[in-house]
């Protein structure tokens, strides 16, 4: 078995892993590798064709308002593609272009199967190789880990990564389970092609009026729902308070049972959009402390049990706020790089640019105040 050793190993070549790598490159960390089980931007490659980033891209970088989907201060996916809402393939191509331009050391097709902690760091097992690392950044995201077992019979349902394209699946009537972004995305694309869709949801996310897009539906999705309601009234039926408890299939039809005693029948496999699990939970849960099934992070985004193991990505939590968008978790790329730089006794002053541009936000109290000072109630009704 081959053995190699690095100062820093980053697991996962999505926006989180690559963004951290760029911040580390900025301060001159040389002994670094990014290991990726598939290929750069794999999660985005698996998105259904019609799916778009809900966060808009706009190249406003020179004015210190970096494109919301950029992984570094000087790149803009919006500028690269001349598009505001990029497809998964476009975003993966942006990530690939970043890897090429900055010559990031990514090893594709290299899946980490096991991690051990040693006296001087960690040992990662990949196929026929062990990699030693002083620091590890876990950045495997959530999209590779859909929650496939939320209720009995969930395995009979279809999930977005299996779909390929909403245009090409058979049927005219569908049931979507889950009313957040993924469920709404499926409902929108199915309705737009002329199908009838029922959305069953435990709560009523479409009614939540919270300024934080991690809590309520994004403006992009609210706009799409309004557009489809005008163009094809009744094509999407939103049914809140319908917690699905079981799905069965009797050969001909699927039956979907809800907690309130109701049931729905569908000739097509229901679309399961009940969410994803953190990679850290599925892969390295024993390396992190957990509080009521939520991961606990130090003030520099490391494990509280293993200080040289960091996490970057959408499962990051601070002050009860989830950093689940790129523009949120990228605010910590510089923090992680700065901390690793300090421990390696490197000069980290070159991160000042990252700080100015919102990629090194140390005061995480920023994340608890998402409130917009102007409320909807103050806007004239005619405009809404
Ligand atoms: C459906 C959906 C839509 C979203 N839309 C948006 C949006 O519009 N805007 C936004 O800002 N955020 C969005 N998000 C949040 C989203 O999670 C992130 O933007 C982004 O994918 C997270 O980046 P990441 O690098 O942490 O994870 P990923 O992009 O998932 O990258 C993780 C990488 O790790 C690799 N990997 C996994 N296990 C291993 C292993 N054992 N060894 C080696 N490599 C491994 C995977 O192959 C993958 O390439 C969305 C999320 C979902 C699920």
With a 6 Å cutoff on the Cβ, whether 141 touches ligand 1 is yes
Write the CA distances from 15 to 51, 69, 262, 327, 341, integer angstroms: 17, 9, 42, 10, 20
Ligand 1 center from residue 12 Cα (angstroms)? 9
Overall size of the chain counted in residues: 384
Q: What is the per-residue pLDDT across 177-209, written as a single tens digit (0 to 9) for each?
A: 999 999 999 999 999 999 999 999 999 988 888
* CATH hierarchy code of domain 154-272: 3.50.50.60
Q: How far apart are CA 11 and CA 124, in angstroms?
A: 10
Query: Rounded to the nearest whole angstrom, what is the distance from the C-alpha of residue 26 to the centroid of ligand 1?
Result: 23
Helix (H) or strand (E) holding 247: strand 244-249
Task: Give the Å distance between the CA of 239 and the centre of ligand 1.
Answer: 29
Residue of 52, 83, 144, 161 best suited for mutating to test ligand 1, as the one with most atoms within 8 Å of CB:
144
Which atom from ligand 1 is nearest to the alpha carbon of 68? 11
Q: Which fold would CATH assign to domain 2-144+277-368?
A: FAD/NAD(P)-binding domain (3.50.50)
Residue nearest to atom 17 of ligand 1 (CA): 314
Tens of pLDDT along the chain (384 residues) come to: 789 999 999 999 999 999 999 999 999 999 999 999 999 999 999 999 999 999 999 999 999 999 999 999 999 999 999 999 999 999 999 999 999 999 999 999 999 999 999 988 999 999 889 999 999 999 999 999 988 889 999 999 999 888 899 999 989 999 999 999 999 999 999 999 999 999 999 999 888 887 777 778 999 999 999 999 999 999 999 999 999 999 999 888 999 999 999 999 999 999 999 989 999 999 999 999 999 889 999 999 999 999 999 999 999 999 888 899 999 999 999 999 999 999 999 999 999 999 999 999 998 877 666 555 665 555 555 554
Q: What gap in Å lies between CA 278 and CA 366, rounded to an integer?
A: 23
Burial bucket for residue 369 (CB in 10 Å: 0-12, 13-18, 19+): exposed
Q: Hey, where are the domains in the chain?
A: 2-144+277-368, 154-272
- 3 state SS of 87: strand
Q: Residue 89 in 3-state DSSP?
A: helix
> Please, what's the largest Cα pairwise distance for the chain?
70
Closest residue to atom 14 of ligand 1, CA basis = 325
Kindly state if the Cβ of 66 falls inside 6 Å of ligand 1: no
- Is the Cβ atom of 67 under 6 angstroms away from ligand 1? no
**CB of 37 closer than 6 A to ligand 1?**
yes
Please, are residues 176 and 150 in contact by the beta-carbon 8 Å criterion? no
Residue pLDDT, tens place only, 207-237? 888 777 777 899 999 999 999 999 999 999 9
Going from the Cα of 14 to the center of ligand 1, the distance in angstroms, rounded, reads 6
What pTM was estimated for this model as a whole? Answer: 0.94
Per CATH, 2-144+277-368 and 154-272 having the same topology is answered yes
């Amino acid at each position: 078995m081959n053995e190699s050793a690095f100062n820093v190993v980053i697991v996962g070549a999505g926006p989180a892993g690559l963004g951290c790598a760029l911040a580390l490159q900025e301060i001159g960390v040389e002994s670094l590798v990014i290991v990726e089980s598939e290929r750069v931007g794999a999660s985005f490659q698996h998105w259904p064709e019609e799916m778009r980033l809900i966060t808009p891209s706009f190249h406003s970088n020179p004015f210190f308002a970096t494109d919301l989907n950029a992984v570094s201060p000087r790149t803009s996916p919006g500028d690269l593609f001349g598009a505001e809402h990029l497809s998964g393939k476009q975003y993966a191509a942006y990530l690939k272009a970043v890897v090429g331009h900055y010559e990031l050391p990514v090893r594709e097709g290299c899946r980490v199967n096991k991690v051990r902690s040693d006296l001087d760091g960690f040992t990662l097992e990949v196929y026929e190789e062990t990699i030693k690392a002083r620091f590890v950044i876990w950045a495997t995201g959530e999209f590779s880990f859909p929650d496939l077992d939320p209720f009995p019979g969930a395995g009979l349902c279809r999930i977005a990564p299996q779909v390929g394209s909403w245009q090409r699946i058979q049927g005219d009537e569908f049931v979507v389970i889950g009313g957040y972004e993924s469920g709404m995305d499926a409902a929108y694309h199915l309705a737009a092609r002329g199908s009838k869709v029922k959305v069953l949801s435990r709560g009523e996310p479409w009614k939540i009026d919270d300024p934080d897009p991690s809590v309520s539906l994004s403006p992009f999705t609210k706009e799409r729902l309004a557009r489809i309601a005008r163009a094809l009234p009744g094509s999407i039926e939103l049914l809140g308070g319908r917690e699905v408890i079981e799905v069965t299939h009797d050969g001909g039809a699927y039956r979907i049972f809800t907690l309130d005693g109701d049931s729905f029948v569908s000739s097509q496999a229901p679309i399961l959009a009940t969410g994803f699990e953190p990679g850290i939970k599925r892969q390295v849960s024993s390396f992190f402390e957990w509080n009521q099934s939520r991961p606990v992070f130090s003030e520099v985004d490391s494990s509280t049990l293993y200080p040289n193991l960091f996490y970057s990505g959408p499962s990051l939590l601070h002050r009860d706020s989830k950093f689940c968008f790129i523009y949120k978790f990228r605010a910590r790329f510089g923090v992680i790089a700065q901390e690793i730089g300090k421990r390696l006794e490197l000069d980290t002053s070159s991160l000042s640019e990252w700080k100015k541009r919102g990629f090194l936000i140390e005061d995480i109290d920023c994340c608890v105040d998402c409130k917009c000072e102007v409320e909807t109630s103050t806007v004239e009704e005619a405009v809404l």
